[in-house]
Amino acid sequence: MGLGLLLLGSALLLLLGYAQIRLLKHKARLRRALDGPSLVLGAGTPHSKPHGPCNPEASSEHGIALGDEVETGEVVRWNPGVLANPHLLILGGSGAGKTQTIRAAMLELSRRDFGVVAIDFHGDLLIEKAESYPISMTSEYGVNPLVVDLDPAGGGPDPQRFLVLQSLKETFAPMGGNQLALLDRALGEVYKNTGIVQEDHESWRREPPTFRDLESALDRLAEAAGKDRRPEAVKTKLGPAFSYGIFSKPQVPIRERGTTRIDLSKLPPGLQYLAADTLCRQLLRRLQMRGSQGTHRLFLVVDETKLMMPARREAPHAILNRIASEGRKFGLGLIVAATSSAHLSRDIMMNCFAKLILKTDKIEIPPTARRFLAERDQLSSLLEPGVGLINFGDEEAYTVVRVRPYAARVGDG
């Protein structure tokens, strides 16, 4: 009996020693990640004021202070430049503090002279000095899915027709093969009537058509079809895209300096998807045309992942999946938020090297623990807004952090 107790005690001591070693290694890795050389890949270690405007090439040596570690009070910093991917993923239920956290990250990026483009589905991502563009039936600007990419290697009206068909298929599902064929025919006619043809690169610079032209093309097809009601059925299916008028207005400007906020909160979900999908594809293509970049100069912010994911969230053509896996090469970082782990694709999970989990609904704890490799007890202990678990890259454990909200950074809500 005594020998058994002795062996059991020895085993417990070994386990405690092993756990302590793992904890020390974890803290050392965390300190290296947080005290990286700069916010930007390839930059040195210049010093700059944490809240003053500065160039991305000469950012704060400690990155962006997200908040404080609950246990030690140490500042927890997000340093995209020392991570393999700069993207930040924020998960949390209603009232968890996601919006305040997103706005805080946007504010600190803008103060460091990064460009920020925010796709605002809920209308609450306004920050100081942001250029805001509401998109609605009465707005000055809209979104034009028919804008042609000028890249000779992959642009022109033919590839754009394919992209528009993909987006419309997702927005107005289900759409059968005959309906898609008619829609493709109408799109081809629209570009031809505008004088934009695949073989003439110079023609791509002409004023692009809009959905008003697409509606007219479907009207002509319906008139020529006689008793065949399919063209009319396609037009009816796309009715909301035509009646809202947002796809026939001047294209909303997307600037790469400062903060641009695109407010889609006044649109129904289907049109939100089409507008956001179009804008993100245009942004990625613009950066792809310039080739690989060595620094991250621009961040895209999406405050509700599920509203931008197609029915098949793992689809490789889904634009958020593409940006998560390819954006880094072209200088594009990503900040995404979700209310449920079920809304997140494998590409997003794998490529967001900074993960922040705020409090979630009890029913979400088991799948969240499984997908994020987090402890259920830690997730259950998250009860306050703005308190969460954060992990950077290859860290073996999560750190409990209290996020400093946007309101505390600017003195208002």
402: left (phi over 0), alpha (psi -120 to 50) or beta: beta
Tens digit of pLDDT for each residue in 195-250? Answer: 999 999 999 999 999 999 999 999 999 999 888 889 999 999 999 999 999 999 99
Residue 157 CB neighbour total at 10 angstroms: 24
143: left (phi over 0), alpha (psi -120 to 50) or beta: beta
- Would you say the CATH fold of 157-246 matches that of 35-142+254-410? no
pLDDT at residue number 36: 36
Q: Which two tokens stand for residue 278?
A: 């179009």
User: What are the phi and psi torsion angles at 109 (to 5°)?
Assistant: -65, -45
pLDDT at residue number 204: 96
Tens digit of pLDDT for each residue in 278-319? Answer: 999 999 988 988 877 767 689 999 999 999 998 888 888 899
Q: Give the span between the Cα atoms of 365 and 385, in whole angstroms.
A: 16
CA distances from 187 to 35, 168, 197, 294 (A): 52, 12, 12, 37
- 3-state DSSP: the chain helix, strand, coil percent, rounded to 5? 45, 15, 40
CA atoms within 13 A on the CB side of 102: 30
Question: Among 212, 186, 182, 192, which residue's Cα sits nearest to residue 148?
Answer: 192
Q: Which residues are within 8 A (CB) of 393 and not within 5 positions of it... i.e. 6 or more apart?
A: 33, 83, 84, 353, 354
What percentage of the chain exceeds 70 in pLDDT? 83
Tens digit of pLDDT for each residue in 20-37? Answer: 444 444 444 434 333 433
User: Is residue 398 scored above 60 in pLDDT?
Assistant: yes
> Could you tell me which residue, 310 or 407, shows the higher pLDDT?
407
Classify domain 35-142+254-410 at the CATH topology level.
Rossmann fold (3.40.50)
Per-residue pLDDT band at 393 (split at 50, 70, 90) = confident
Peptide bond into 174 cis (omega under 30): yes
**CB contact at 8 A, 321 and 347:** yes
Q: Give the span between the Cα atoms of 145 and 164, in whole angstroms.
A: 7
Tens digit of pLDDT for each residue in 354-375? Answer: 999 999 999 999 999 999 999 9
Residue 333, strand partner residues? 299
pLDDT at residue number 298: 95
Q: Give the span between the Cα atoms of 273 and 172, in whole angstroms.
A: 10
E strand or H helix at 337: strand 332-338
DSSP 376-402: HHHHHT--STTEEEEEETT-SS-EEEE
The sign one gets for the Cα dihedral 288, 290, 295, 299 is negative
Residue 362 CB neighbour total at 10 angstroms: 9
**Domains of the chain: which residue ranges?**
35-142+254-410, 157-246
- Tell me if residue 89 falls in helix, strand or coil: strand
Q: Which residues are within 8 A (CB) of 369 and not within 5 positions of it... i.e. 6 or more apart?
A: 375, 376, 379
373: left (phi over 0), alpha (psi -120 to 50) or beta: left
User: Is residue 7 scored above 80 in pLDDT?
Assistant: no
User: What are the phi and psi torsion angles at 62 (to 5°)?
Assistant: -105, 5
pLDDT at residue number 227: 84
CA distances from 163 to 16, 158, 170, 187, 325 (A): 56, 9, 11, 11, 19
DSSP 133-185: EE-STT-S-B--TTPPP--TTT-SHHHHHHHHHHHHHHHT----HHHHHHHHH
**CB contact at 8 A, 334 and 345:** no
Per-residue pLDDT band at 9 (split at 50, 70, 90) = low
Q: Give the span between the Cα atoms of 353 and 91, in whole angstroms.
A: 13
Classify domain 157-246 at the CATH topology level.
Helicase, Ruva Protein; domain 3 (1.10.8)
pLDDT at residue number 2: 55
User: What are the phi and psi torsion angles at 193 (to 5°)?
Assistant: -65, -25
Q: Which two tokens stand for residue 363?
A: 């029913």
User: Is residue 68 scored above 90 in pLDDT?
Assistant: yes
